[in-house]
Amino acid sequence: MMRFAFWQVAREYALQGLEADDAGALSLLHREDFVRPWSEDEFATMIADRTVIGFAARQTGHGREPPVGFILARRAAGEGEILTVAVSRAHRRQGIGWQLMDAVLRQLHAERAEALFLEVDETNTAAIALYKRLGFATVGRRPNYYPSASGTASAALVMRRDLR
Ligand SMILES: CC(C)(COP(=O)(O)OP(=O)(O)OC[C@H]1O[C@@H](n2cnc3c(N)ncnc32)[C@H](O)[C@@H]1OP(=O)(O)O)[C@@H](O)C(=O)NCCC(=O)NCCS
């Protein structure tokens, strides 16, 4: 009788700062989920910007792998703002989004920032669930903010997390 063995290899990830040569991979990842994807040049400009904080999540143990998730945030006038955060579909629900957000929160806290803000499509239940678990509260709503492929627009929620 034939027997089949099934096993699952636990994936391990590590967070690192973003580097200039990540721009192309970030642009491809961003394209997976956003109606208006940012170009490689736009990512290169953000990575080089000293007001921008960025982290990448990579699988460990295979040399320097392309990012499976990343986050970019900007700091200005004692506050932070998430520019974008994304995790590749194949790597979701394993805590990577949480770790990326936590890394930005910790860095801003260490820099004594007062608060972290973000905007999120009010139909994006996954991201909103993550942000609520991290202590973000809704402080505003911008109607007709995000265009969709179908031509309709959805509202943005403005969320804030206190860092003091
Ligand atoms: C939002 C996103 C970054 C979350 O990344 P992730 O690595 O899958 O998130 P995590 O595994 O860290 O999830 C942490 C918690 O967030 C919540 N959450 C995440 N995805 C969820 C989903 N699809 N449905 C419900 N809750 C979800 C859960 O509470 C989860 O904890 P749990 O898995 O123990 O239940 C990811 O879904 C993504 O890249 N989406 C597309 C891009 C995007 O929408 N970015 C945000 C733009 S503002």
**Which residue segments constitute the domains of the chain, with CATH numbers given?**
13-162 (3.40.630.30)
pTM, two decimal places: 0.93
| Measured distance CA(90)–CA(104) in Å, rounded | 23
pLDDT of 152 above 90: no
CA of 92 to the centre of ligand 1 (A): 7
> Does the C-beta of 95 come closer than 6 Å to ligand 1?
yes
pLDDT digits (tens, 9 = 90+) for 119-135: 999 999 999 999 999 99
| Measured distance CA(142)–CA(140) in Å, rounded | 7
Q: Is 113 helix (H, G, I), strand (E, B) or coil?
A: coil
Asked whether 34 and 25 are in contact (CB, 8 A), the reply is no
CA of 127 to the centre of ligand 1 (A): 5
As a whole number, mean pLDDT of residues 75-82 equals 96
As a whole number, mean pLDDT of residues 106-129 equals 97
The owner of tokens 């499976």 is 68
CA of 161 to the centre of ligand 1 (A): 17
User: Candidates 31, 82, 92, 118: which one to mutate for ligand 1, based on the most atoms within 8 Å of Cβ?
Assistant: 92
CA of 122 to the centre of ligand 1 (A): 14
pLDDT digits (tens, 9 = 90+) for 20-37: 999 999 999 999 988 889
> Does the C-beta of 159 come closer than 6 Å to ligand 1?
no
> Does the C-beta of 86 come closer than 6 Å to ligand 1?
yes
pLDDT of 7 above 70: no
